[in-house]
Amino acid sequence: MPKPVTIGARGEAQEKVELRHTLTSHDKCLPPIYSTPDMIRLMETAGFHALQPFCEDGEITVGTAINIEHRASCGLGADVHATAELESHNGRFYVLRVTATSGDREIGRGTITRAFVRVPGSVGNQGKSGI
């Protein structure tokens, strides 16, 4: 079981948009703009960071649901910043409000849900730096 989790717990993640984060990397006919799956991955990473301090040894959190709007585009070289803030929980499911911004523009928002799980065969705090 995780340690008691504080409503309002926050996490962040950021990256600079590279070609591998764009639609072009999936299909050469598409424009080089930040892809929705990459934005969601960054939001999930922020959620991971928000909840990771509450994990016991051998636990991590995993994503279980997403409800995201990708509201604006950004291109190569843009700095994208994602934040996640715990707003509620229901049993083992923790709902985080997430946003992604580039500069002072919001490019995405919504909620993600994560759950604590024990990693089979884990020893200590392995897995503390990923999603």
Q: Is 26 a catalytic residue?
A: no
Distance CA 95, CA 127 (A): 21
The question of whether 12 is a catalytic residue gets the answer no
Of the candidates 12, 15, 24, 36, the residue annotated as catalytic is 36
Please pick, among 21, 22, 44, 83, the residue that the annotation labels catalytic: 44
Active-site residue among 12, 15, 70, 99?
70
Contact 8, 85 (CB under 8 A): yes
Q: Which residues contact 82 (CB under 8 A, 6 or more apart)?
A: 12, 13, 14, 39, 42, 43, 45, 46, 98, 99, 100, 101
Active site residue 24: no
- Residues taking part in catalysis: 36, 44, 70
